[in-house]
């Protein structure tokens, strides 16, 4: 079997010349991917010029199509987001709209192009909102055709109110977060392998009825 | 002017023979009510036999009607809830459904019976989900006819994962939470007084078009 | 292989002496289960005396434990809910809290007792709120250990505002809803069979780190 | 009293060379503003180059500051959004993040710069998600310091699944939507006038404790 491939879309509001707390937590998962031979690439969405709209390709100057190619080739798609006002970031929302714009495309069996891929989410924030962000993202992925393995919502947030973020707070020492890192990494791999070896049968699940 | 009256519906899953963290945080607000001459009563919803359904009165054995009377007499209605799986409690959901069941009732001007009342929310949990619970409750109150003053979403939650709740964690020492206690108490009072002195004009806002 | 078993928890606010629109839509899915040899049982939650609390068993008079036994034996768990104020019902919220109360229980490999089960959701309402209800329920199931197959969020709602519900509106003639009935039924079966034949490996996903 | 001023931020994904259904519904409200002497301006956010980030001013090339000036001068702020995957648009999310970036600014009494302004929301979509989008936006506005009058969540969505949008479906003939147009317009005006004549007292609600 070819190696499992993962792509991580990091919806930080910052470009990659700035440190991303979400990236730091994601790397805890990709370290386990390395250990298990999963190839992975992280894309800092804010580095790209992504047009607004519901389409897989919005024409001249739109840099989404190259990202979409990587999503199509991946077995595992993770979306990372910071929390602002208790919600996922606008950059993340944009990426989900763009994924939605490709949802009518099909694989060679007539299923959505996202079938047989697994999805997960990584969230960091200084406080409250991680589950809400995870809920939104996992639902979107599921609705678009991804399989959602168990316990693929890794997050760290601090106590209510302003405070340090993941890196500064040394959030990786949080047992709950560390446990979820491991569960998420392994469950993504387990299910991705199964679906690669043995894809979802083409019965009852075509894009067109 | 008659004194301002507040009623607090506490949606804890526990009856009042057990300590409620949400009640402890609510009392920080009602202490300021006492200081400002606002009369208040807290109702532990789990102490009552509340039937499921969308109606202000579900007949024999239903103890909601007496609570609804207190809501109708109140100038300030606060809903308190714990957080479970990042959401408000089922008891709180039930109370909101019951409030919805009374939403077609009108005051003597033909507006919703909830007009000229102000709403607020208090949330506690050991971790993540407070803003999501507050968002749900404040939207419901607004949709039903309450006025939502600024900054009436007081909460305390701890760092991601299992951990102590508000009382045990001494959450009241959290500056952010304390600041919100004060803003919520005063903004509820300020707006409640204004609406009592000078109700929303009966123009464009009748229940029936 | 033993037949696949499904259990449907219907969170209607009404007891089973009244017709449930959510039940009517669910039966479209269970008709396909019948065709495919899946055994199924639908439980109208409002028929039972279910105590409020975060525990798998709340003692004398609590009728949840017998429902929990059926969940544990099932390969497929579907939750059905009506929409009130754009959200899932309080009865549904209660059931999710009770499922959460059992989440620390493990199977014989040390994984959550919900591993190797698949989850789905059915929502009906006269108007807006289905995706929000589905989002909440699917996230909870995923966070508790269920696998979420693609496209398992079947719903019907009408145009904005008051109006007829699923049965009266003849919602089953809606192409989108019918398509989702089929996708949901088959994807639940496909994934349930796979997980029964070939469970998720016990690696990296124990309840305790 | 100076005339009431309203600003509408339309978070359509389309620039103003394309027709916006959300704009069409918003105009039903601004027609009533015209009738009542309220001055108003609608800003199509996608026409501007708005940088991503949590700040009132992100420097060279950022066109948010001119929009923020209009928000600061307004008595009524409405946010309009289309629905995608059951949520508000990414453009709307970006605007809310930018508003949040200005939340530490104060008026001359030390309250948030958003105090004494009222907020409302307008949502259109071909199907499900309006209440969820409204819930998110109204909560954000309330948390930032706006007053939320009763019934300021006007929306139109069609039956479940793909279908015509507001203009094509002639959604304005929907009684529920029309009723909300009137309630929203008048309640925004009523409360804006009250707060302009008689601002929220500077007591207990300073930005800094």
D204 is a domain residue: no
pLDDT at residue number A1: 81
Residues in chain D closer than 8 A to B186 (CB atoms): 201, 203-205
CA distance C44 to C7: 11
Q: What percent of chain C has pLDDT over 70?
A: 100
The verdict on a CB contact (< 8 Å) between D150 and B115 is yes
The verdict on a CB contact (< 8 Å) between D130 and C128 is yes
Backbone angles phi, psi at D170, to 5 degrees: 55, 45
CA distance A162 to D112: 17
Is the pLDDT assigned to residue C205 strictly greater than 80?
yes
- In chain B, which residue's Cα lies nearest the Cα of A85? B131
Structure tokens of A70? 């990587």
CA distance D159 to D161: 6
Q: Which of C109, C118, C204 is most worth mutating to test chain A (most A CB atoms within 10 A of its CB)? A: C204
DSSP string over B31-49: HHHHHTT-EEEEEEGGGS-
The region, left, alpha or beta by phi > 0 then psi within -120 to 50, assigned to residue C129 is left
Q: What is the mean pLDDT of chain D?
A: 97
Residues of chain B falling short of pLDDT 70: 209
| Dihedral over alpha carbons B147, B150, B151, B152 (to 10 degrees) | -20
C contact set with D (CB within 8 A): 85-86, 127-132, 135, 155-162, 171, 174-177
pLDDT at residue number B62: 98
B83 is a domain residue: yes
Q: To which H or E segment does residue B122 belong?
A: strand B118-125
pLDDT at residue number C208: 74
Spatial contact of C85 and B100, defined as CB atoms under 8 Å apart: yes
pLDDT at residue number D154: 98
B71 is a domain residue: yes
CA distance C71 to C7: 7
Token match 């001007």: residue?
B109
Spatial contact of A128 and B154, defined as CB atoms under 8 Å apart: no
The verdict on a CB contact (< 8 Å) between C143 and A151 is yes
Residue A79 pairs in a beta bridge with A9, A121
Q: What is the mean pLDDT of chain A?
A: 97
Q: What percent of chain B has pLDDT over 70?
A: 100
The verdict on a CB contact (< 8 Å) between B131 and A132 is yes
Count interface pairs A-C at CB distance under 8 A: 117
DSSP string over chain A: -PPPEEEEEE--SS-TTS--HHHHHHHHHHHHHHHTT-EEEEEEGGGS----SSSS---TT--HHHHHHHHHH-SEEEEEEE-BTTB--HHHHHHHHHHHHTTT-B-TTSSBTTTT-EEEEEEEESSS-HHHHHHHHHHHHHHHT-BB-TT-EEEEE-SSSS---TTTTTGGG-HHHHHHHHHHHHHHHHHHHHHHHSPPPSSS--S--
Q: Which of A167, A43, A154, A159 is nearest to B165 (CA)?
A: A159
Nearest neighbour of B94 by CB, restricted to C14, C90, C143: C90
pLDDT tens, residue by residue, B49-85: 999 999 999 999 999 999 999 999 999 999 999 999 9
**What is the separation, in whole angstroms, between the first and last Cα of chain A?**
32
pLDDT at residue number D1: 80
Residues in chain A closer than 8 A to D54 (CB atoms): 13, 84
> What pLDDT tens digit does each residue of chain D (209 aa) get?
899 999 999 999 999 999 999 999 999 999 999 999 999 999 999 999 999 999 999 999 999 999 999 999 999 999 999 999 999 999 999 999 999 999 999 999 999 999 999 999 999 999 999 999 999 999 999 999 999 999 999 999 999 999 999 999 999 999 999 999 999 999 999 999 999 999 999 999 998 75
Q: Which of C165, C163, C138, C164 is nearest to C152 (CA)?
A: C138
Is the pLDDT assigned to residue C78 strictly greater than 60?
yes
Spatial contact of B172 and B25, defined as CB atoms under 8 Å apart: yes
Rounded to an integer, the average pLDDT of C150-163 is 98
The verdict on a CB contact (< 8 Å) between A159 and B161 is no
- In chain C, which residue's Cα lies nearest the Cα of D123? C160
Nearest neighbour of D84 by CB, restricted to A46, A89, A100: A100
A207 is a domain residue: no
CA of A93: how far to CAs of A90, A96, A202, D87, in Å? Answer: 5, 5, 30, 9
Q: Which of D121, D134, D148 is most worth mutating to test chain B (most B CB atoms within 10 A of its CB)? A: D148
D131/chain C closest Cα distance in angstroms: 6
Q: What is the mean pLDDT of chain C?
A: 97
pLDDT at residue number D209: 55
pLDDT at residue number B207: 86
Residues of chain A falling short of pLDDT 50: none
D174 is a domain residue: yes
Residues in chain B closer than 8 A to D32 (CB atoms): 204
Spatial contact of C189 and C36, defined as CB atoms under 8 Å apart: yes
pLDDT tens, residue by residue, A130-189: 999 999 999 999 999 999 999 999 999 999 999 999 999 999 999 999 999 999 999 999
CA distance D81 to D63: 20
**What is the separation, in whole angstroms, between the first and last Cα of chain B?**
32
Spatial contact of D103 and D145, defined as CB atoms under 8 Å apart: yes
CA distance C175 to C167: 15
The verdict on a CB contact (< 8 Å) between B134 and D134 is no
Structure tokens of D13? 């994904």
Q: Which of C139, C175, C196 is most worth mutating to test chain A (most A CB atoms within 10 A of its CB)? A: C139
A contact set with C (CB within 8 A): 32, 112, 114-115, 131, 134-136, 138-139, 142-153, 175, 178-179, 182-183, 185-187, 190-191, 194, 198, 200-201, 203-205, 209
Domain total of chain B = 1
A79 is a domain residue: yes
CA distance D10 to A85: 20
B171 is a domain residue: yes
pLDDT at residue number C98: 98
Cβ neighbors of B59 (< 8 A, separation 6 or more) are: B51
D86/chain A closest Cα distance in angstroms: 9
Q: How far is CA C57 from the centre of its chain?
A: 20
Cβ neighbors of B185 (< 8 A, separation 6 or more) are: B29, B32, B33, B36, D204
pLDDT at residue number C16: 98
CA distance B31 to B37: 10
Residue C76 pairs in a beta bridge with C6, C118
Residues in chain B closer than 8 A to C100 (CB atoms): 84-85
- Read off the pTM: 0.98
Domain of B150, in residue numbers = 5-197
pLDDT tens, residue by residue, C65-74: 999 999 999 9
Interface confidence (ipTM) of the complex: 0.98
pLDDT at residue number D208: 74
Q: Which of B85, B161, C205 is nearest to A171 (CA)?
A: B161
Nearest neighbour of C85 by CB, restricted to B86, B91, B100: B100
CATH number for the domain spanning A115: value is: 3.40.50.360
B52/chain A closest Cα distance in angstroms: 26
């Amino acid at each position: 079997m070819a190696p499992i491939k993962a792509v991580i879309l990091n919806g930080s509001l910052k470009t990659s010349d700035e440190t991303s707390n979400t990236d730091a937590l994601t790397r805890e998962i990709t370290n386990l991917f390395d250990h298990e031979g999963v190839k992975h690439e992280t894309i800092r969405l804010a580095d790209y010029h992504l047009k607004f709209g519901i389409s897989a390709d919005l024409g001249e100057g739109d840099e989404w199509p190259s990202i979409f190619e990587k999503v199509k080739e991946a077995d595992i798609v993770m979306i990372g987001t910071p929390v602002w006002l208790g919600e996922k970031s606008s950059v993340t929302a944009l990426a989900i709209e763009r994924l939605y714009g490709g949802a009518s495309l099909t694989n060679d069996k007539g299923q959505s192009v996202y079938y047989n891929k697994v999805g997960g989410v990584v969230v960091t924030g200084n406080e409250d909102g991680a589950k809400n962000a995870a809920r939104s993202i996992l639902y979107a992925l599921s609705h678009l055709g991804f399989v959602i393995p168990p316990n693929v919502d890794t997050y760290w947030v601090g106590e209510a109110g302003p405070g340090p973020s993941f890196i500064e707070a040394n959030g990786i020492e949080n047992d709950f977060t560390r446990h979820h890192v491991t569960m998420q990494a392994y469950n993504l791999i387990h299910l991705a392998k199964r679906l690669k070896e043995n894809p979802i049968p083409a019965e009852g699940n075509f894009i067109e009825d």
